[in-house]
Amino acid sequence: MRASSVKTVAVPSDDKRWRLVNATMRRHGSEPDALIETLHTVQEAFGYLDDTALRYVASNLKAPLSRVYGVATFYNFFTLKPQGEHNCVVCLGTACYIKGAPQILESVENLAHIMPGETTPDKKVSLLIARCLGTCGLAPAAVFDGEVAGKLTADDAVHKVQEWMKS
Ligand code: FES
């Protein structure tokens, strides 16, 4: 009898942050028990949990999607993808923190008048924080609509978010 083949699920994109997610799943034996730990890693890397991530994690851990959604919505330390048309995720991990991430975050907060986890009343901009984007060499880093921007300054971030607010 041939050995059963292990079905691998393709990563949603070539975004390096999926490597962090995969490493967590592997470390926990890619079992359904790894669910909470894995969702933590997704949130720390992406700032929130979206449908793509939840489906990917469910397939890899062989857990029912309903259970994954249940866990993601039950615990208030998890954030589902915010409602904003645009998302800004500022990394507050150690490497970014010491290179000025707090100033970047504060500038965006002051500009958009929102705190992390919030969306502007016109639903244009959502602000989130992450704990490491897996690109520490580019610190300080943030993600604007899925695009990682490294060696960022507060002015760069303000400029970007201002464009969104004007559009
Ligand atoms: S700490 Fe910010 S990318 Fe790693």
Q: How many structural domains is the chain composed of?
A: 2
Choose the residue to mutate in 136, 148, 151 for probing ligand 1, maximizing ligand atoms within 8 Å of C-beta: 136
Cα dihedral angle (20, 22, 25, 31), rounded to 10 degrees?
A: 160
- Domain of 126, CATH number, reads 3.40.30.10
Judged on CB neighbours under 10 Å (0-12, 13-18, 19+), 55 is middle
pLDDT per position as a tens digit, 30-71: 888 899 999 999 999 999 999 899 999 999 999 999 999 999
Indicate if 123 and 61 belong to the same structural domain. no
**Residue 34, domain member (yes or no):** yes
pLDDT per position as a tens digit, 94-152: 999 999 999 999 999 999 999 998 999 999 999 999 988 888 999 999 999 988 899 99
Beta sheet of 142-144, edge-to-edge order:
125-130, 86-91, 142-144, 147-149
Indicate if 66 and 93 belong to the same structural domain. no
**Residue 133, domain member (yes or no):** yes
Indicate if 50 and 111 belong to the same structural domain. no
Question: How far is it, in rounded angstroms, from Cα 17 to Cα 22?
Answer: 9
**Residue 8, domain member (yes or no):** no
**46 and 53 in contact (C-beta within 8 Å)?**
yes
Dist. CA 96 → ligand 1 center (Å): 5
Indicate if 92 and 158 belong to the same structural domain. yes
Dist. CA 39 → ligand 1 center (Å): 18
Dist. CA 90 → ligand 1 center (Å): 9
This prediction has a pTM of: 0.79
Provide the domain limits for residue 154: 86-166
